[in-house]
Amino acid sequence: MPYTAKHRYAPISARKARLVVDTIRGLPVQKALDVLEFQPQRAAQLTRLVVRSALSNADELEADVDELVVSEARVDAGPMAKRVWARGRGRADVLRHRTCHIIVTLDQASAL
């Protein structure tokens, strides 16, 4: 049975978060948490919280936590907040505050 957790509207661009999420896909849960703990990127801490939440969901439903692996980890683009930034000579640029949705699914190693 898969156990899923999501962080919706994470305040980071999807491209930056995908670089981190790609490193943990297919790893056992404890190793994935160790990898995320020592990565310097800000997305690693956001992803680590999502993995811990999925692990808590699995533990609450009495799954064997030692055999869980990260079966699916993906990042989808979220909505953008657009702001106008005044520039010189009467011009304007658009600032795009990007967000993303981080989705992590854990499953038993034998089910894969």
What per-residue confidence (pLDDT) applies to 65? 87
Q: Helix/strand/coil (H, E, C) string of 21-58? A: HHHHCCCEHHHHHHHHHCCCCHHHHHHHHHHHHHHHHH
Containing 17, the helix (H) or strand (E) segment is helix 14-24
What per-residue confidence (pLDDT) applies to 4? 97
What per-residue confidence (pLDDT) applies to 25? 96
- Give the structural domain span for 38: 3-111
CATH code assigned at 52: 3.90.470.10
pTM score, whole prediction? 0.91
Which residues, listed in sequence order, are joined to residue 5 by a DSSP beta bridge? 104
Q: For the chain of 112 residues, list the mean pLDDT of each consecutive stretch of 10.
A: 96 98 97 97 98 95 90 97 97 98 93 60
Looking at the structure of the chain, the number of domains it has is 1
CA distance linking residue 69 with residue 33, whole number of Å? 11
pLDDT in tens, 25-48: 999 999 999 999 999 999 999 999
